[in-house]
Amino acid sequence: MRHLITTDDLSSEEIENLFADAESYLLKPPPKLLQNRLVITLFFENSTRTRSSFEIAAKKLGADVVHLDVARSSTKKGETLYDTAANLNAMGPDAIVVRHAQSGTPYQISRHVDCAIFNAGDGAHAHPSQALLDLFTIKRHFDSDIEGKKIAIVGDIKNSRVANSNMRLLPRFGIEITLVAPPHFMPETDFPSTSRLEDVLDDVDIIMSLRTQTERHAHPIYASLKDYAADYCITKELIGERDILLLHPGPVHRNIDIDDAMLADPRCKVLEQVRNGVAVRMAALKKLILANG
Ligand code: NCD
């Protein structure tokens, strides 16, 4: 049984094939390859774009989609996660898309079901479909010439599953990462790192800005997000005329992560990431569901 729990679940060749599919879905209406297939979305944590992106992706390929309203579900009545998973599994889905505040939950669920589990974000651990769509967006922007390109990942890296998945995935494709964050947002890694955004600006091809994950902080770290913005907001003034691709997984804290002027600038591809996300998730759903038979 194939799952997408982390980006390591796919070989580099599989990722290239997946991107070829995604590219074709952007260009022409997709075939209904998942007709009569059932996809369940199970979100224990809030989501706007990831959930709708998976649901739209599944529907575009002809699948039936059921969203389980967790706020009203039996886990609220004391049912364990495993029993919830086993009961959903008994309804015969082809895939369950799971988001949970606790790292490891999608993996644990995958051991109790016989359908594909898609990790739509687990705690600060992983968000593989986001990293895949980020890489896809980078590849398209640079016409596939990405070997040796340099990216700065900026912000609350330590608490970001998006950063974590990108730190696993991007180096596999030759992209060089520098981490830019204040000490309390900096994870322990072997990547080059700095706390000063100015240090990297003349050296990078891509900036990936991240949202401060206030919901994952046991104690508020900054007195206000404005203090953070003073050092890490990606402003037009800061970027100037540099040829830098600007990414952000969303939701953006406007004028904290990225200022109004940069959000409106053509170098900022946030909405293209969202558009690409549907195509990449279509390709991933197709790949795993059909592989599982
Ligand atoms: C991210 C997430 O939920 O991990 N958003 C997303 O999936 N588009 C990042 C975030 O919440 O900051």
pLDDT at 218: 77
Q: What pLDDT score was predicted for residue 46?
A: 86
Averaged pLDDT for residues 80-90: 88
Give the chain's domains with CATH numbers.
7-127+274-291 (3.40.50.1370), 129-269 (3.40.50.1370)
Instruction: Please give the distance, rounded to the nearest whole angstrom, from the Cα atom of residue 160 to the centre of ligand 1.
Output: 8
Q: Which atom of ligand 1 is nearest to the CA of 162?
A: 4
> 248 alpha carbon to ligand 1 midpoint, in Å?
9
Residues contacting ligand 1 via CB (< 6 Å): 49-50, 121, 127, 130, 161-162, 211, 249-250
Q: What is the mean pLDDT of the chain?
A: 95
Expressed in angstroms and rounded, the spacing between residue 47 Cα and the centre of ligand 1 is 8
Tell me the pLDDT tens digit for each residue of 248-274. Answer: 999 999 999 999 999 999 999 999 999
* Nearest atom, ligand 1, residue 49 CA: 8
**Residue 225: pLDDT band with limits 50, 70, 90:** confident
Name the residue with the closest Cα to ligand 1, atom 7.
50
Q: Which pLDDT band holds residue 180 (cuts at 50, 70, 90)?
A: very high
CA of 213 to the centre of ligand 1 (A): 9
Q: What is the pLDDT of residue 272?
A: 98
DSSP-derived secondary structure for the chain: ---BSSGGGS-HHHHHHHHHHHHHHHHSPPP-TTTT-EEEEEESS--SHHHHHHHHHHHHTT-EEEEE-GGGSGGGGT--HHHHHHHHHHT--SEEEEEESSTTHHHHHHTT-SSEEEEEEETTTB-HHHHHHHHHHHHHHTTT--TT-EEEEES--TT-HHHHHHHHHGGGGT-EEEEE--GGG----SS-EES-GGGTTTT-SEEEE----GGG-SS--SS-HHHHHHHH-B-HHHHTT---EEE--S---BTTTB-HHHHTSTTB-HHHHHHHHHHHHHHHHHHHHHHT-
- What is the Å distance from ligand 1's center to 293 Cα? 31
| CA 127 to centroid of ligand 1, rounded, Å | 8
Q: List pLDDT tens digits, range 124-139.
A: 999 999 999 999 999 9
- Mean of the pLDDT values across residues 178-186? 96
Task: Give the tokens for residue 47.
Answer: 């989501």
**What is the whole-number distance in angstroms between the Cα of residue 255 and the centre of ligand 1?**
18
Closest ligand 1 atom to Cα of 99? 3
166 alpha carbon to ligand 1 midpoint, in Å?
Answer: 13
> Hey, whose CA ends up nearest to atom 12 of ligand 1?
211
244/169 Cα distance (integer angstroms): 20
pLDDT at res. 223: 66
Q: What is the pLDDT of residue 220?
A: 73
Tens-digit pLDDT profile for residues 23-78: 999 999 899 999 999 999 999 998 989 999 999 999 999 999 999 877 667 777 77
Pocket residue to mutate for ligand 1, from 48, 54, 130, 257, most atoms within 8 A of Cβ: 130
- Mutate-to-test residue for ligand 1 from 45, 50, 278, highest number of ligand atoms within 8 A of CB: 50
pLDDT recorded at residue 226: 85
| Reported confidence tier of residue 227, pLDDT bands at 50, 70, 90 | confident
